[in-house]
Amino acid sequence: MIRSYDPFSGEAPQATFNITFINDGGAECRFTPLFDLSQPPFGLSKGAGKAIGYQLVNLTDSQNVTPWAGRSLITPSTHQLVLAPNESKTLLYKLVANPAGVPEAGTFTQDVTIEAQGQGFTSFGGTRLVLGLEVLPSARIGLAGAYSMNKGQAVVDLGELRTGLVQTPLQLRVNSTGSYDLQVVSSNSGKLRLGSTDWTVPYTISIGGHAVNLSGAGLLAGPTGTGYRSDSAPLPIQFVIGDVSDRRAGTYSDVISISVTAR
């Protein structure tokens, strides 16, 4: 089982496992370890929906033993195991899932049988095991549009402050394995402040057309339902400036923190 996979980590979903073969008979035993699908079709799934492709590799003998057609393929280069009476040998296998095929969070599995097959398709025994991939609920956010970076922080220039909507093209991009929530926190509770003075200008913000409450921790619920969501439809971020009359000249600013939580 590949545990706790984060599809946005940039890492390949993979795990290794050992299988030990024991000859408890009184004669030498020659066989080829093969994987059979207990129930086609091929792929890790929840029982319905899109399946995730994978590969099985025998790392001990450097052989691909993936049961694409329902059973591991035997080729002229396939190694046989030869065990003397009461001898055992452990093989190391690696399961690698296709990260591009992950449709959503959840646990995706496939039941297989590992079989010791001798000549003439003779079976010396086998056992069932479950191949699986556990995909964690996960989400990532990023900005696009008119902003710059300064000491690791995104800086948005609102220009000369005027009451009303600021024409600044800015979008929030969200990648998620399903539903998500956004939290927005304003250091000045929805006010642009002149340095460390008490001079402030109120403002509001909306994300994706939804107003955010900046007086506390503003919460926004993302789309409901399951399934992988990409950033193909970025969420516009808009700023509306309040009353600027009778304010001292200078640079007014606030620090906004936006975080995302996958559900």
The reported pTM is 0.81
Q: What is the pLDDT of residue 195?
A: 95
Asked if pLDDT for residue 227 goes beyond 70, the answer is no
Amino acid 222: pLDDT? 77
Lowest mean pLDDT, pick from 11-15, 42-46, 101-105, 183-187: 101-105
Mean pLDDT of 120-130: 90
Q: In this predicted model, what pLDDT tens digit does every residue of 34-81 receive, in sequence order? A: 999 988 899 999 988 889 999 999 999 999 999 999 999 988 888 899
The answer on pLDDT for 232 being more than 60 is: no
**What is the predicted pLDDT for the residue at 178?**
86
For residues 29 and 66, the answer to whether their CB atoms sit within 8 Å is: no
Alpha-carbon span 190 to 213, nearest angstrom: 8
Q: Say which CATH class 139-262 falls into.
A: mainly beta
Give yes or no for a contact between 49 and 127, defined as CB atoms under 8 angstroms apart. no
**Average pLDDT of span 158-187:** 93
Q: Tell whether the model's pLDDT for residue 126 goes beyond 70.
A: yes
pLDDT classification of 106: cutoffs 50, 70, 90: very high
Structural Rg of the chain based on CA atoms: 29
Instruction: Map out the domains of the chain as residue ranges.
Output: 2-135, 139-262
Calculate the alpha carbon distances from 217 to 188, 189, 191, 212, 223 in Å. Answer: 12, 9, 14, 9, 19
- The rounded percent of the chain whose pLDDT value lies above 90 is 78
Paired strand residues for 21? 89
Q: What is the rounded average pLDDT of the residues 191-209? A: 96
Tokens 């049988």, residue located: 113
- The answer to whether the 2-135 and 139-262 domains have the same CATH topology is yes
Long-range pairs of 193-198 with CB within 8 A, sequence gap ≥ 24: 193/252, 193/253, 193/254, 194/247, 194/248, 194/250, 194/251, 194/252, 195/250, 195/251, 197/248
Query: Would the CA dihedral through 128, 131, 18, 30 be positive or negative?
Result: positive
Q: Confirm or reject CATH 2.60.40.2040 for domain 2-135, answering yes or no.
A: yes
- Residue 89 confidence (pLDDT): 97
pLDDT-based confidence at residue 5 (cuts at 50, 70, 90): very high
Name residue, tokens 């996958």. 262
pLDDT for the residue 233: 75
Q: Residue 263: which pLDDT band, with cuts at 50, 70 and 90?
A: confident
Which has more confidence, 100 or 18?
18
Going by C-alpha positions, the residue among 238, 229, 217, 223 that lies closest to residue 172 is 238
The reported pLDDT for the residue numbered 58 is: 97
